[in-house]
Amino acid sequence: MYGNDFGPKITADGDAGDDPALLDGFQRTLDAGDRIEPRDAMPAGYRKTLIRQIAQHAHSEIIGMQPEGNWITRAPSLRRKAILMAKVQDEAGHGLYLYAAAETLGASREELLNLLHDGKQKYSSIFNYPTLTWADMGAIGWLVDGAAIVNQVPICRCSYGPYARAMVRICKEESFHQRQGFEILDTLSRGNPSQHAMAQDAIDRWWWPSLMMFGPPDDQSPNSAQSMAWGIKRFSNDELRQRFVDMIVPQAKILRLALPDPDLRWNAETEHWDFGPIDWAEFFGVLKGDGPCNEQRIAHRRGAHTDGAWVREAALAYADKHVARTAAVA
């Protein structure tokens, strides 16, 4: 969902289907490896898929602020607090770039937020797990932001211009997030035995949900083929998941932390790390709403939206005043 699409099966037909010449132009742009821009003709399915994927991505960014926001007041030092605040603020910014990208496709931010609040659009299931200790800030940065990077780097080359461009800056910031997570875990891992145990416990809880972030296996991912044909998706879920595992295993060794998978071993033939089976029943359960924090996350989001209504009203009143003044001068 962080750069992935979850939803009903999509179809390739669309609004641009009314005009074969326009659709032809769309296909030629894709074939040439060029970008589709907001005013270009595009199939309705392409538009719909992108709105849903970008919105779900934006929702994930802002819901993702909650598990970490939970630790800002409890960060172990002023330095850690300042870094965590900056990181959580970055995620708000990512949400903003992405809602703005979705707006170029004709969906308003208000409409998309309503879909999130009504449970009609999803966000990454990873954020429905609780953050129990400070080490979870390290595990989230290292694993969750790490998985987000692997998912999102290919989107910098996605066929839709505004989404691709938003992703370039987001990926730069995500690399900082991953490093800060790594550094938290490195410090804990080299600390006293209980600090090391705290870091290990966080990895034990976040490892499998991080692997689930890439979405279901390729044979259970009905929309992937169409998304690839449209140049929205560049690599399959399983390819990206493998890339993530291959990236993380050597880093875990440097951290002196174990990944909780007895089946994890180097495969000299494929030159990749093999890993054990993923509990997809857990993934679909959390996605459906049965995760440990689903209700809490949405309730908090709705509350923040209601509490922030005056800010939106004030901003609109100010904008109206500005328009009226400009008109009066003209």
C-beta of 6 vs 142, nearer to Fe ion: 142
Output the smallest distance, CB 185 to Fe ion, in A: 16
Is residue 241 a contact residue for Fe ion (CB under 5 A)? no
As a whole number of angstroms, the distance between CA 76 and CA 158 comes to 40
Is residue 186 a contact residue for Fe ion (CB under 5 A)? no
**106 half-sphere exposure, CB direction, 13 A CA radius:** 12
Q: Which residue carries 């538009």 as its tokens?
A: 47
Choose the stretch contacting Fe ion; rule: CB under 5 A; options: 57-65, 111-119, 192-200, 293-301: 57-65
Choose the stretch contacting Fe ion; rule: CB under 5 A; options: 40-48, 84-92, 109-117, 200-208: 84-92
C-beta of 86 vs 132, nearer to Fe ion: 86
The kind and range of the H/E element at 172 are helix 161-189
C-beta of 124 vs 227, nearer to Fe ion: 124
The phi and psi torsions of 40 (rounded to 5 degrees) equal -75, 150
* Burial (CB count within 10 angstroms: exposed 0-12, middle 13-18, buried 19+), residue 162: buried
As a whole number of angstroms, the distance between CA 201 and CA 183 comes to 16
Question: For residues 259 and 204, is the Cβ–Cβ distance under 8 A?
Answer: no
Residues from 106 through 165 that contact Fe ion (CB under 5 A): 145
As a whole number of angstroms, the distance between CA 123 and CA 117 comes to 11
As a whole number of angstroms, the distance between CA 30 and CA 24 comes to 10
The DSSP annotation for 226-254 comes to: HHHHTTS--S-HHHHHHHHHHHHHHHHHH
The count of chain residues that interact with Fe ion, using the rule CB under 5 A, is 6
Is residue 91 a contact residue for Fe ion (CB under 5 A)? yes
C-beta of 14 vs 95, nearer to Fe ion: 95
Question: For residues 29 and 35, is the Cβ–Cβ distance under 8 A?
Answer: yes
Choose the stretch contacting Fe ion; rule: CB under 5 A; options: 11-19, 94-102, 151-159, 254-262: 94-102
C-beta of 145 vs 186, nearer to Fe ion: 145
C-beta of 84 vs 135, nearer to Fe ion: 84
Q: Which residues pair with 273 in a beta bridge?
A: 266
Among 94, 205, 241, 243, binds Fe ion (CB under 5 A): 94
Choose the stretch contacting Fe ion; rule: CB under 5 A; options: 7-15, 59-67, 229-237, 301-309: 59-67
Is residue 68 a contact residue for Fe ion (CB under 5 A)? no
Output the smallest distance, CB 73 to Fe ion, in A: 20
Output the smallest distance, CB 85 to Fe ion, in A: 13
Is residue 177 a contact residue for Fe ion (CB under 5 A)? yes
Output the smallest distance, CB 6 to Fe ion, in A: 18
C-beta of 136 vs 145, nearer to Fe ion: 145
As a whole number of angstroms, the distance between CA 107 and CA 84 comes to 31
User: Among the residues of 190-293, which ranges form H helices?
Assistant: 193-212, 224-229, 237-255, 280-285
C-beta of 95 vs 231, nearer to Fe ion: 95
Is residue 5 a contact residue for Fe ion (CB under 5 A)? no
* Binding-site ranges for Fe ion (CB under 5 A): 61, 91, 94, 145, 174, 177
